Amino acid sequence: MCGIIGYVGHREAEPILVEGLRRLEYRGYDSAGVATLTGPHLHLRKRAGRIADLARFLRDRPAPGCQGISHTRWATHGPANDRNAHPHVSSDGSIAVVHNGVIENYAILKRQLQDAGVIFDSDTDTEVIAQLLEQHYDGDLVDAVRKVLGMLKGTYGLAVVSARQPDLIVGARLGSPLVVGVGVGEHFLASDPAALMGATENVVYLQDGQMCALRADTWHVFDNNHIRIDAPIHRIDWDPIEADKGSFEHFMLKEIFEQPEALENAMRGRLSDEDATSHFGGLNLDARHLRSAERFVFTACGTSYHAALVGEYLFEELARLPVEVEYASELRYRNAPMDRNTIVLAITQSGETADTLAALRESKRKGHHTLALCNVVGSTIAREADGGVYLHAGPEIGVASTKAFCNQVSVLMMLALYMGRMRHLSSIQGLRMLKEVRALPGIVRRALDCHEQVQEIARKYYHVSNMLYLGRQYLYPVALEGALKLKEISYIHAEGYPAAEMKHGPIALVDGDTPSVFLIPSGGVADKVMSNLEEIKARGGPVIAIACDGDEELARHIEERADDVIFVPQVPEYLQPLVSVVPLQLLAYHIAVLRGCPRA
Ligand code: M6R
C-alpha cells in the first residue's frame, strides 16, 4: 500500500518528509523517494528498498528546501527498482508527482505521448501524469493539474510540485484518500493522517473529486466544479500512545493482544439486559424499516470479506434473515437483481477501500439503504453510508488486519442479535446471548495463552512452501482468514477450503511437506471434520488441529490423530470464529518473523 506525504513551510522539508514516510512504513512498501525544491531547482532522491536505504542516500546527497513531496511505493506497474520509485518527474525536470491508485488508461496516454516524442524514464502509470503536466503547464500548476485530471481514468491520491512555482503543492483525490494537515505557517499533505502525527492535529479530509493548493501561509480546497470551498477542519482523534508498539516487537503482535480490549470497546454501551438485545445509535433506520428488510447484501474486501462470511452464518441462524456476501470488487460491476427491501452493508476497517466505496455508491445509486461497519471514524465510507456502526477497535497500524476482524465479527454478532430480537428470538434467548457475548473478552484473553505453543509450531513449519486451512460452517471463513494472514505476512502459498471439499480435487495437493490446519468445531459437524482429517492423514499430510477444550473424548480422539493440537476455550459454536482465529493470527505472525518477512 503506497503512502504520500508533502510539506510546504518554513522548516527544512527533508526530515519532515522522511519522518512522515517512517510513520507510513507499517503499510508495507518496496521503494521510497522525495522531491524537494529550492527556488527553481528540483532535487529528486529515490531508492528501491527500505526507508533506511533512502535515509542513507540522503545523508550523502541531501534534498534541500522548505517544500517537497515524498512517497512509499508497492510495485504495481513495473518492478521495484530506483527508476520506478516515486516521485516521477517530467522530461524537462520541472514537475514532480507522487501518486497512489491506478491510472487505467495510462497505456493509451503513454503511447500518444511517445508518438509525440516524449521519452519515458519508468514503467509506471504515474509518469504519464508528470509528462502530461509538462505538456499542459501554462504558468498555473493548479490549472494544469485540473486539465490533466480530466484525461485520466482510474483512481488517484496525488501530490504535485513544480520548479516554476516552488512555493506550492497541489493535491487531488479520486478513490484514494488524501488529507491536508493545517499548521501555522506550514501545511502538510498525506494519504493517511497517521503520517501527520506529531506535526499537526488539524486535518481537512479531501473528498473524491476535490483538489487542494497548499502554500506556507494558505490552504485552499476546490470542489469538482473547480470552485473554492470552505472545507471543515477536523481535530484528529488519535492518541499517540496507542500508536506506539509498546513492549511488542511489531504492531501486528500488539494488535493481536489488544483484541480482548477491542472487544470490550465494541460492546460498551451497546448491550441491554432490559430489552434483552443490543442497541446502535447510528443505523438511521427505524424499527419498522428494519423489520421489513427481507434480505441483506454484505460487501467487503479481504479480511473484512471473511468477517462478512461469518456474519452470513450469524444472520441466518440468529435473525433468520437471508444474506448474500459479495466481494466489493465484483458487486460494483454486477447488475444483480435486488429487491427494494434489500439492505446493503459495507464492512471495512479503513473506510477508504476503493472497491468497497464504489460498491456502496453503486448500491445507493440503485436506491438501497446502505449501512457501513467502519473502524476509522470520519472515513469516506463512514460519511457516505446512510447509517452504520463504528467498530471501536482503535488504530490498526499493522498491515495484517487482526483486531478489526475481531470487532467486525463481534459487531455483526450484536447486529444479528438485534435483528433476531425484532423477529423471532425470545427474551430468554436474547439474555442468554448477552451473557455469552459479554464473556468474550475474557475468553479471547484465555485463547491468547496459546502464544508460546504456537511459536513452537511455527518453528516446525516456517520453511514450508504450501499450507492448507480447513474448516466447516462458522469455521470455514476462519480457514480463509488464516490462509490470507499467512500469505500476506509470510509470503507462503496458502489456501482455505471448506474441509469436505478437499476430496473433490484439492486433496491431490497434500503430501508430507504440506501441513493442514484443521479448525475443529465443538459440536455439530465435529465428527465430519474428523473424517476429513483422516483423509489428510491417509495421504501423509501433517496436521495442526485447533480445537475447543472441555470435551475430553473428542480431545483424545484429536490428539491421537493430529501432529499438534492447540486447545482454545470452549464456547458456543457461533462464537468460535473469535477464539479460533487467534492461534491462526499468531501462527502467521511467528512464521513471518522466522522467515524474516518485513511486513509483520
Ligand atoms: O480497510 P478494509 O477493511 O476495507 O480493507 C480490506 C482489505 O484490503 C484488508 O482487509 C486486507 O485484506 C488486510 N490487510 C488483510 O490482513
Residues 264, 419, 373: CA angle, nearest 5 degrees: 50
Determine the distance separating the centroid of ligand 1 and the alpha carbon of 344, expressed in angstroms: 19
Contact 388, 378 (CB under 8 A): no
Distance from C-alpha of 65 to C-alpha of 41, rounded to nearest angstrom:
9
pLDDT at position 170 over 50: yes
Determine the distance separating the centroid of ligand 1 and the alpha carbon of 560, expressed in angstroms: 37
Predicted TM-score (pTM) of this structure: 0.77
Tell me the mean pLDDT in the region 363-383.
90
Question: What pLDDT, in 10s, does the model give residues 220-265?
Answer: 999 988 999 999 999 876 555 455 777 888 999 999 999 999 999 9
Q: What is residue 555's predicted lDDT score, i.e. its pLDDT?
A: 86
Contact 445, 260 (CB under 8 A): yes
Distance from C-alpha of 477 to C-alpha of 474, rounded to nearest angstrom:
7
Question: What pLDDT, in 10s, does the model give residues 461-472?
Answer: 999 999 999 999
Determine the distance separating the centroid of ligand 1 and the alpha carbon of 77, expressed in angstroms: 21
Closest residue by Cα to atom 12, ligand 1, is 302
Question: What pLDDT, in 10s, does the model give residues 10-38?
Answer: 999 999 999 999 888 766 678 999 999 99
Q: What is residue 27's predicted lDDT score, i.e. its pLDDT?
A: 64
> Alpha carbon of 173 to those of 155, 160, 297, 319: distances in Å?
8, 12, 28, 40
Alpha-carbon 296 to chain mean position: 23
Closest residue by Cα to atom 8, ligand 1, is 302
Residue 292 phi, psi (nearest 5): -85, 0
Tell me the mean pLDDT in the region 152-173.
95
Determine the distance separating the centroid of ligand 1 and the alpha carbon of 304, expressed in angstroms: 6
Residues 532, 535, 541: CA angle, nearest 5 degrees: 110
pLDDT at position 599 over 70: no
Question: What pLDDT, in 10s, does the model give residues 268-314?
Answer: 889 999 999 998 888 888 888 888 899 999 999 999 999 999 999 99
DSSP type of residue 117: T
Q: What is residue 37's predicted lDDT score, i.e. its pLDDT?
A: 97
Q: What is residue 80's predicted lDDT score, i.e. its pLDDT?
A: 84
Contact 318, 409 (CB under 8 A): no
Output the ligand 1 site: residues, CB below 6 A: 301-304, 348-350, 353, 356, 399-401, 484, 488
Residue among 26, 303, 305, 309 whose CB has most ligand 1 atoms within 8 A, to mutate? 303
Percent of the chain with pLDDT over 70: 98
Contact 384, 207 (CB under 8 A): no
pLDDT at position 146 over 50: yes
Q: What is residue 241's predicted lDDT score, i.e. its pLDDT?
A: 46
Determine the distance separating the centroid of ligand 1 and the alpha carbon of 458, expressed in angstroms: 24
